[in-house]
């Protein structure tokens, strides 16, 4: 029998998220309705040799509490134990994303340079898109070199609203 990855749903003001707790580490905070839903779930379940079970946990409750504080502009840095499931390269990208400060943005090229691999823009973009811990690992803070909003698993309208929230612009979340 596989180990259990406990999940719950969270209805954020910008879209529904699936939260996942594996051994008291958050490994999933991802958009319920996204193009790569099955690929992301398969990667995580295979990587952890686990199966999904919908069950609340203390970590999932704390994650919901911190997300609510974030959406209410009372939290700018998350403090949760994270578990990344992916290749070493993907994990390096996800860790670099965590260094982008609240309210700031960076381009794919800038992120590639930060990783000392300026020619890896496409690989960085691909890893960014494979991020399974959205918002907490802020892939929404990555924009195109022309300062345009580009690709986002939660959709460009969600990305725009997250950036507006962080940059202090007024928006109707509730």
Catalytic (active-site) positions: 139
How open is the CA angle 165-167-171, to the nearest 5 degrees? Answer: 35
Q: What is the largest CA-CA distance in the chain?
A: 49
What's the count of helices (H) and strands (E) in the chain, helices before strands?
A: 6, 6
Backbone angles phi, psi at 88, to 5 degrees: -60, -40
- Nearest-angstrom CA–CA distance, 77 and 136: 8
Rounded to 5, what percent of the chain is helix, strand, coil? 40, 20, 40
CA pair distance 109, 8, nearest whole angstrom: 35
């Amino acid at each position: 029998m596989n180990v259990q990855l406990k999940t719950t749903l969270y209805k954020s003001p910008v879209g529904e998220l699936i939260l996942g707790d594996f051994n008291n580490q958050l490994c999933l905070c991802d958009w319920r309705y996204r193009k790569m839903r099955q690929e992301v779930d398969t990667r995580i379940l295979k990587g952890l040799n686990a199966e999904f079970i919908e069950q609340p946990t203390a970590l999932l409750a704390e994650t919901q509490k911190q997300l609510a504080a974030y959406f209410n502009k009372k939290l700018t840095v998350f403090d949760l134990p994270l578990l990344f499931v992916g290749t070493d390269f993907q994990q390096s990208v996800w860790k670099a994303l965590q260094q982008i400060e609240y309210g700031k943005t960076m381009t794919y090229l800038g992120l590639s340079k930060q990783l000392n691999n300026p020619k890896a823009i496409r690989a960085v973009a691909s890893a960014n898109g494979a991020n399974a811990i959205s918002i907490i690992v802020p892939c929404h803070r990555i924009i195109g070199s022309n300062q345009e909003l580009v690709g986002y698993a939660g959709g460009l309208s969600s990305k725009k609203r997250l950036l507006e929230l962080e940059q202090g612009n007024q928006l109707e979340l509730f």
